[in-house]
Amino acid sequence: MKRVAFLINFEYKKWLGGFYLIKNLIYSIKKFSVKEIEPVLIVRKNLKKEDLKEFKNLKIIKTDFFWKQSKFSKFYNKFKTILFGKSKFYENFFEANKIDVLSHINVFSNNIILGKKSSIKTLSLIADFQHLYYPENFPLRQRILRNLNTYLSSKFSSKILLISRDAKKDLKNVSIQGYNNSVINRFVFTPPKKNNIIKLGKLKKKHNFNLKYFFLPNQYWIHKNHIVVLKALKYLKKNKKINMIIFESYFW
C-alpha cells in the first residue's frame, strides 16, 4: 500500500476550490482504492478541530515543520534540489513519516521541490494557464511566478497533474518536457447526502423570494468575467421587464 500525502499549507478558507479538490479526491480514494492507497493529510498544528471535521477516519499529521522556515532556508533548499536533484531536508521528514508520494503540490504556493532524485515521488498540480490568455488580469510578479512554477514542475516533479485537456494542450505550447510528463486528473465531486440538501421551499422562505432564479457559484475573481452576467441582468430588467432578485453570497 502506498501512503500518499496531501499538504495543506495554504489559507484554505481563501482558496476553497483547492481545499475541496483535495477533500473530494481523498473521499474517492477511501471509497474506491482503499487497498492500494492510504491518504495522509499534513496540516499546521494550530488548525482547529472544527476545521478538520471534513476528514473523519483519516491519518492526519500536525506539524509546523513547513511553516517555521525562513525565506532563506526555503530558497536554499530549492537551490540544493535544482543543483543536486533532491534536498534531504524535506526528504527526511517524509521518510520519517513513511510517505511514498506527495500529491497536489504547487511549487510556489507550497514552497517545496523534492526533485527527480528524491526517494519521495511528487505530483505537481497546475490548474490552468489563464495568465497566458488574460495577462491583464494578473500582476507581472504573478505571471513570472506562474511561468517559473511550470518550468520547475516540468524539471523536478515526478508527474504534473492537469485538470483538463485544454490545460494539457496549453502545457504543450509552454513545455514539451512538462507535456510528456503530465497526466489529466479531473475534479472529483462528492454528492451531498439527500437529507443534507436544503429544500427549495425553505430557501424561498428564508430569503423571502418567489421568483425564477439561476445559480452562479463562482468566486469574484476578475477572470470569472461576472461583468457579462451583470450586463445581461441589466438588459433583461430594462428591455424585457423581467423582475428578479439578486443574492450576494460569500465562501467565508
Are both 122 and 217 inside the same structural domain? no
Query: Would you say residue 208 lies in a domain?
Result: yes
From the list 214, 222, 223, 221, the residue with the least C-alpha distance to 247 is: 214
Residues 198 and 147 in one domain: no
Mean pLDDT of 166-179: 95
| Same domain? 106 vs 125 | yes
Residue 12: the pLDDT is: 63
Q: Does the residue 251 lie in any domain?
A: no
What pLDDT was estimated at residue 120? 94
Structural domain includes residue 250? no
Do 209 and 180 fall into the same domain? Answer: no
Looking at per-residue pLDDT, the higher value among 168 and 113 belongs to 168
Whole-angstrom distance, CA of residue 69 vs CA of residue 72: 8
Paired strand residues for 60: 41
Same domain for 43 and 166, yes or no, is yes
Residue 250: closest CA among 224, 227, 218? 218
Residues 219 and 153 in one domain: no
Quote the domain boundaries for residue 224.
Answer: 194-239
Domain count, the chain: 2
Same domain, 14 and 73: yes
Same domain assignment for residues 26 and 121: yes
- What per-residue confidence (pLDDT) applies to 171? 96
Q: Is residue 82 part of a domain?
A: yes
pTM of the model: 0.80
CB 124 within 8 Å of CB 159: yes
**Model pLDDT, residue 234:** 87
Do the Cβ atoms of 158 and 2 come closer than 8 Å? no
